Amino acid sequence: MGKFKEILQSKYENYQNDFSKIEYLSSFIFEFNTCDKEMDLYFSKKMIEVLKSISNRTTYEYIEDKEQYINYLSMCNRPFLQEKITWGGSIRGAFFDLFKSHFFCLNQIEVKGLDIKEFMEDLIDWSEL
């Protein structure tokens, strides 16, 4: 298990009787607050899709579909992801910002610059989506 998967799992253990993993991600990691459980889950699944496309460097392929393009732009502009990505000439080619520390889970998890890609990949794997 990756080091960040272990951290995510240990944080989740306090809530696993009340939340599924995707519900936990929605509320405590991505911080979606729609007051609609189904929409929280929908947005979380879309965030995982976008994280995968950024991590795999397949954003251009991902956004070929119009609906995925809308999801991509929406997720990139959410507070969770907006501060953790950067890009050169276009947001469509975004990549994880390796040059600053990032905080997750209500500031309980600090991820230093170069570890951000590993954190995101562990988060994707841990989510089991």
- What is the amino acid identity at position 11? K
Give the pLDDT confidence score for residue 107 in this predicted structure.
64
* Side-chain half-sphere exposure of 39, counting CA atoms within 13 A: 6
pLDDT at residue 106 in the model? 62
Name the token pair of 16: 């696993």
Give the residue ranges of the chain where pLDDT is below 70: 1, 106-107
pTM of the model: 0.91
Q: Are 75 and 46 in contact (CB under 8 A)?
A: yes
Q: What is the pLDDT of residues 73-95, one digit of tens each?
A: 999 999 999 989 999 889 999 99
Structure tokens at 104: 């997750």
CA-to-CA distance for 58 and 23, rounded, in angstroms? 26
Spatial distance between the Cα atoms of 91 and 95, rounded to a whole number of angstroms? 9
The CA–CA distances, whole Å, from 66 to 41, 53, 60, 70, 81 equal: 21, 15, 12, 6, 20
Predicted local distance difference test score (pLDDT) of residue 101: 87
